[in-house]
Amino acid sequence: MSLFLSIHPENPQSRLIDQVVQVIEKGGLIAYPTESGYALGCLLDNKAGADRIRAIRQLPESHQLTLMCKDLSNISEYAKVGNVQFRYLKSHLPGPYTFILPASREVPRRLQNPKKKTIGIRVSPNKIANELLSRFDQPLISSTLLLSGEEMPMTDAWEIKETLGHALDAIVDGGFCGYEPTTVIDFTEEVPVLVRQGQGAFNE
């Protein structure tokens, strides 16, 4: 049975964050709140965790997962960011955006788009997510908790516990955190291209 922790969305309790960090450090897979519903997360070097994410969401091996980074400097370690991209990212992050960028050598090939060698990057404004990420030098592999056959991501931690408690190591209850997906922008070239319109406004 997974660990279930209710953490204050505006003032996350350090002792509870510490418990979640311990689970993640031991190779655990968690469900945690973001600005666009709950997400599944594990450490970047956790191959088994990434496999578990794909199994829960019934995703193929070729499906590109996202890296949840703590800040812009963290992004530059895992994605190739030119001056144009950097200025654009700086004006939009943290926020409800997923940027597709060329992956750096720090990103395992198993996480990259197999043909384009790209990776999805996010920086969330969610305070609980930020507190978790602040404890690590590497980002979390992340995927919106959207189950196969459903149109909307899961938004209730208790429902996640009832549905997926057996498949997760920890569930972080951060209350309702929205359900509209992020706006996805392909920024592999110098001109951004809208892939999916979500919460965030798209301005070229």
17 C-beta neighbours (distance < 10 Å), count: 18
Write down the pLDDT at residue 22: 97
Closest CA to 68 of 111, 25, 116, 28: 111
CA distance 153 to 75: 25
Q: For the chain, what is the mean pLDDT?
A: 92
Nearest to 142 by CA among 79, 196, 67: 67
Look at strands 140-144 and 170-173 and give their pairing: unpaired
Task: Specify whether the CB–CB gap between 156 and 178 falls below 8 A.
Answer: no
Q: Which tokens go with 115?
A: 């043909």
Residue that the structure tokens 């030098």 belong to = 137
Residues near 104 by beta carbon (within 8 Å), at least 6 away in sequence: 77, 78, 79, 80
The structure tokens listed for 132 are: 């978790």
pLDDT number for residue 204: 63
Instruction: Locate 24 and state its tokens.
Output: 């993640």
Local confidence pLDDT in tens for the 204 residues of the chain: 789 999 999 999 999 999 999 999 999 999 999 998 999 999 999 999 999 999 999 998 777 889 999 998 899 999 999 999 999 999 999 999 999 999 998 888 888 777 788 999 999 999 999 999 999 999 999 999 989 888 888 999 999 999 999 999 999 999 988 878 889 999 998 899 999 887 776 776
